[in-house]
Structure 1
Amino acid sequence: MPQSNMSDRADVRAAQAVLSEANHAHGTQFKLNHRFDDGVQSGAWLLLDDNGRRAVLKWSPVRDWARQIERAAGGIAKIRAAGYPTPAWLAVGTNTDGFGYQIQDFVPGRSPNQVTTSEAQLLIDILETHAGLDPDPQRCWSQFVTTCMTDRRDDLLQQTAETGPTGQNLVNACERLLAAHGPVTLPTGDLVHGDFRPGNILFHADRVSGVIDIEALGSGTRVFDYATLLSAHDITPEAVQMLCAAGEQVAGPGALAYCFAQVALDLAVFVHRRNLRPGIQNVSKLLDRVVILLNRTDGV
């Protein structure tokens, strides 16, 4: 039997086991329909019950992540109460194998293949609702970025340089960008998604219908989410400039530069360690975006 078929069957069995425990724990009667293929770190499955209700099962095989999934439930409820367009969580828990899971409402929509100026404006509108919407003050993304760029900075730079010539060029450009802005203090108090990429945004009927994969949410500055969005591969040049300008308006160009340097360096190491070919090919785009931020700094 081909290795891929064996792996697929193992995925189905694992998801069925998680769902069976979730159904028992929460009194639901969902059945697996099919797996969504976008995720690379955890499973996401379309569910149906006998009444035709659709939902989505997400679970993680990383046992250390189970606590954060359960912790995130309170933050999800808080931001939804404020009108934030993320699907409701219907059930959340940890199964007997230590795998965290959550079942959420299904919302229609598709992630954009490309971010043009129209998508960029809709995304900016969503990101600006992050202002002051702090779901978890004790989980601070601003502190995480600051630690990465101070105590762990040399290690991060070395790991990125070791990925190859493009990685070394990215390191050189990031060092120039950081030097151009000097010390930066990142604000806190906003909602931070933590992985605000086009693949985690659903569009339907010319609006954002859902912001998903939000388990890592916390406090910090929405500048980090702007920086993460700017690391996406396919954004038109005009949309890049829109996102840069909006991100700089939040806390100044230094904050965006600081966050983007961390995002770019961390992402370059991540994709190489996991041999994610599309991500590795995207490292040159990360370098291009650093150059764009440098040019904006120089007024070019």
Structure 2
Amino acid sequence: MTASSSGWTTVARLDAGRLVDALRARGVRLVREGPCPGGQVGAAYVRWEEYGRRGVLKWRPRSSVRAARAGALAVVEALRDIGYPAPATDLVAQLGDAVVTVQELLPGTSPDRLTATHLDQLLRLNDSQADRLTGHPRIPAAALHLREDGPGFCLHDPLRRHSPRTAALERRISALAERYPPLLPGNDAVHYDFHPGNLLATGPDITGVIDWDGAARGDRRFDLVTLRFGLHAANESPAVTDRLDAVLATLPDHVLTPAWAHMSLRLTDWTIRHPTPSGPTPWLDLADRHLP
């Protein structure tokens, strides 16, 4: 999956060393180790000088500590309270108009291929996200962007301009804005970018879910739709995708259709603006499975 759903900027491109120096000037004793591999939001490995523990440094422009604590960080803490394998946040700091965080480095690596055992665990984790934000009414709801552009993703105009087929998809998605609310309803914890690249595993065991930067309130089953699109991008085994498809087939229309529309828009737009050899065709074909 290539489309980033969050506003977090690639730390490596912005000189993680400069961020570490700025934090050290405030008495935060970090040592930069190097960029983290993969991903679109970007991160760098760091080490706490005093006790040697490693962490992950991230940077978000045009944000505030207050907004971070009231949004994604609050979602993560609500899940960690029940033992969900999401990383702890060891540091949150304001640097100018940006927020810098250092998160716990969880064990494991992104699995090359998801197995049925992995999927079982992911479905259980998704179930555990239910109603976790009922006591946190100020956490914002996730946006669907079926009519309006998202902040750097889910852009509609690239679809309108690219080809007759992408323009037709954009019209179908925009029409759905008349039927569904602009924000995801519900009090579940929603990761919002729940694809295989944001999962960690050691052998058959899922050890972590990372990159919660877009986390919000809504319906947890949105994450299962995101996962399905991620499996499509990774060309996963039919044994895994067919099983997830069977789960998705049980979802009510008011959950599946707007989530499918959002992900179709997100990935088609991203592929138009960041071309691949196959272009947007795989996402157009996948969109047709569940969109009217």
Say whether the fold is shared (TM-score over 0.5): yes
Pairwise mapping of residues 28-67 of structure 1 onto structure 2 (< 5 A)?
Answer: 28-41=28-41, 43-50=42-49, 51-60=51-60, 62-64=61-63
Equivalent residue number for residue 228 of structure 1: 226
Q: Paired residue for 2:3? A: none
Distance 1:163 1:189 in 2: 37
For the residue of structure 1 that corresponds to 2:223, the secondary structure is helix
2:261 — aligned with what?
261
Aligned-partner SS, 2:213: coil
User: Quick one: higher RCO (CA 8 Å, sep 6+), 1 or 2?
Assistant: 2
Counterpart for residue 159 of structure 2 = 160
Amino acid at match of 2:290: L
Structure-2 residue corresponding to 1:74 = 74
Partner SS state of residue 243, structure 1: helix
**Alignment correspondent of 2:197:** 199
The 1:161–1:256 alpha-carbon spacing in structure 2 relative to 1, beyond 3 Å, is same
Distance 1:152 1:11, change over 3 A: closer
Distance 1:115 1:156 in 2: 30
CA contact (8 A) 1:69 1:101 kept: no
Q: How much has 1:89 moved relative to structure 2?
A: 0.5
**Which residue of structure 1 aligns with residue 106 of structure 2?**
107
Query: Going by fraction, where is helix more abundant, 1 or 2?
Result: 1
Verify: 1:125 aligned to 2:147, yes or no: no
Q: Deviations over 1:186-219 (max 9, x none)?
A: 5401001111111111112422111111022111
Aligned match of 2:216: 218
> What amino acid maps onto 1:289 in structure 2?
L
How far residue 66 of structure 1 moved from its aligned partner, in angstroms, is 6.3
Structure 1 position 165, deviation (Å): 5.3
Q: Is the 8 A contact 2:147 2:173 kept in 1?
A: no
Report the CA distance shift for 1:196/1:69 in structure 2 as closer, same or farther (over 3 A). Answer: same
Shift in Å at residue 157 of structure 1? 5.5
Task: Give secondary structure in 2 for the equivalent of 1:293.
Answer: coil
Contact 2:34 2:44 in 1 (8 A): yes
Residue 24 of structure 1: how far off its partner (Å): 4.8
Task: Determine the structure 1 residue equivalent to 2:282.
Answer: 285
User: Would you say the 8 A contact 2:44–2:58 is kept in 1?
Assistant: yes
Instruction: Give unmatched runs, 5+ long, in structure 1.
Output: 1-9
> TM-score scaled to structure 1, two decimals?
0.75
Work out the percentage of aligned pairs sharing the same amino acid. 25
